[in-house]
Structure 1
Amino acid sequence: MTSQHLPADHPKIAPARTGILIANLGTPDGYDYWSMRRYLNEFLSDRRVIDLPRWKWQPILQGIILTKRPFSSGENYKLIWNEEKGESPLMTITRSQTEALRARAEAEWGDKMMVEFCMRYGNPSTREVVQRMVEAGCRRIVFLPLYPQYAGPTSATANDQLFRALMDQTWQPALRTVEPYFDRPDYIRALAQSVRRALDGRMPARLVASYHGMPKRYLMEGDPYHCQCQKTSRLLQQELGWPDGVIDTTFQSVFGREEWLRPYTVEHVADLARAGVTDIAVISPAFAADCIETLEEINGEIRESFEAAGGTDFTYIPCLNDDPAHIEVMLDVVRENISGWV
């Protein structure tokens, strides 16, 4: 039924559109104690992230971790905070990615498309953005979590939150969730291009591909993340045309006492330095945007570990961020997933 056929007392219906919703992990609203505590509480209460029984985990989280960790995490965020915009780099970059993708989408499809972004934790929340898109007339939504490799604590929890948001909607839009893009040729080419640009065409003694870590138990339970990370590294090596042994796959951000995917980046770079490998570069193929784990952890803690063990030349290769090649990958993914819709 079109608007001219509606009775006078019928609720207003917005013209139908297709939505593109990209999602990232999230960011605190500030680096003060209470902003950090709210963010960490939401993040660390997610059962996809910490799957311990609530009766066991919540007293530890509320009584110990959230008493101390907001201070230390806040200090780390302060080191990288975009003071000019009053936000974290992840927020700045994700907004820039969205604006670039929106411009490309409007040029190709006009006002039939609506492009927005949301965060799994913090603001803008998935629920808030989905509500806005539905009110704007989005009858169909392509959901693109910005995680090249699939993992339960990243891609799956982003999807979970989207599905929860749809439960609030009287008129639910049709939905397509995007599959991981860890082995797409255009994504691998974009990574290789970023390596060549950052290193000015040279090959370091070792390129460390550092991925976000997860408990090893998740791999044994069937999560494909580890295998997809290994394949991304292998395809990147092939695209660069480098010999075997130049690229190492490692994992960072270990949390808690159980064993996580190995080798741990912070230990591995120190081992390299002690073995006489003093020239390394580090890239983070699991991150679509630079954030606390790259700007502070890799370029801070991991760099310091390498230099303290005798390393001399450390190059951090930025994430793809809003690089035009990255935006083109995102646009191609959208093109494939709106097939038959637009």
Structure 2
Amino acid sequence: MKFSADLDETDLALVTALQTAPRASWALVGRALGISPVTAARRWERLAEARLAWVTAYGGGFIARHHVEAFVEVDCVPSRLSSVVAGLVEQPQVASVEHTSGQQDLLLTVLVSDLAALSRLLTDVIGRLDGVLATRSQIVTELLTEGSRWDLRALDRHQRQVMLDSRDDPAAQEPDPTPAPEDIPLMLALGHDGRLGYQELAQRTGMSESTARRRTSRLLRTGVLVPRCEIAHSRSNYPVFVTYRMNVPSAALARVGSALSGVPAVRMCASISSAHNLVVNGWVRSVPDSRRLEEYLVERFPEITLVDRSLTLANFKRMGWILDDEGRAVRPVPIDLWRAPASV
């Protein structure tokens, strides 16, 4: 059975395996899928060369604890939207850029060092782009789940367990891990290619290979760095993105948010400081499925008051990667929240 013109069942299983363990060896991937390591590597090479799948990496939980993540709505002059997007995608603090239905024209995910940096980004960079009419920002107070934990669900239970068994034991994590200044070049290099080997990481950063291995292993083990396998959404089974904005009573927010994060269609769930206090993003098969997902969520979680919903019309950048009209990878602009916002 073919799922699309470009990806067959084995391709989708391969991507799912790497969504489960993005830096797994080809030997492990091959064992999970029942193919040889060489076949697994060649299939990945074909997908990567076609820009249909890629692995990136970005900062993890320390951002919410010590820095700022925000969703920014941008209103634009319609005729200037393309030029506004061209300026936004080059900003290393702007992780994602979506053209959406609804009240806003663009929806951004931004990662910055602190609230003052967010202010500078909004006023000195985004606000100065020709064609921007207004911005509205919502600060993330807790990221309950995000895209690195979502997958295409193309593995059976045994295959998935093989991949899960390769991951580090979370019990080995530090209580409040953060990156050292020496780690930042590694994080940016892995934003370009989340599967870079230690020898190449050493060459790119000027570290010894043993130092690159030790530091990278610690970043991954503690969740300071989050690797993520992406797919061109237009070639997957889930080409439609929907975003719901909700209100949940404060006393129920943690419970509902945690439960929402376990819904298979939910890719991102975050509590925010805004007129509404919860944002949920889902990937679904069709536009009608976005309504069915909404009905399911409202029925399962009666505490939810749905405030607004929007569909993504075009995804120009996703977690540090510029995309083309079909959602294929064009090139990376790795997320760098430590850099001061500056106009393009």
TM-score of the two chains, using structure 1 as the length reference: 0.25
User: Which of 1 and 2 has greater Rg?
Assistant: 1
TM-score of the two chains, using structure 2 as the length reference: 0.25
Q: Which has the higher contact order (CA 8 A, sep 6+)?
A: 2
Q: Going by fraction, where is strand more abundant, 1 or 2?
A: 2
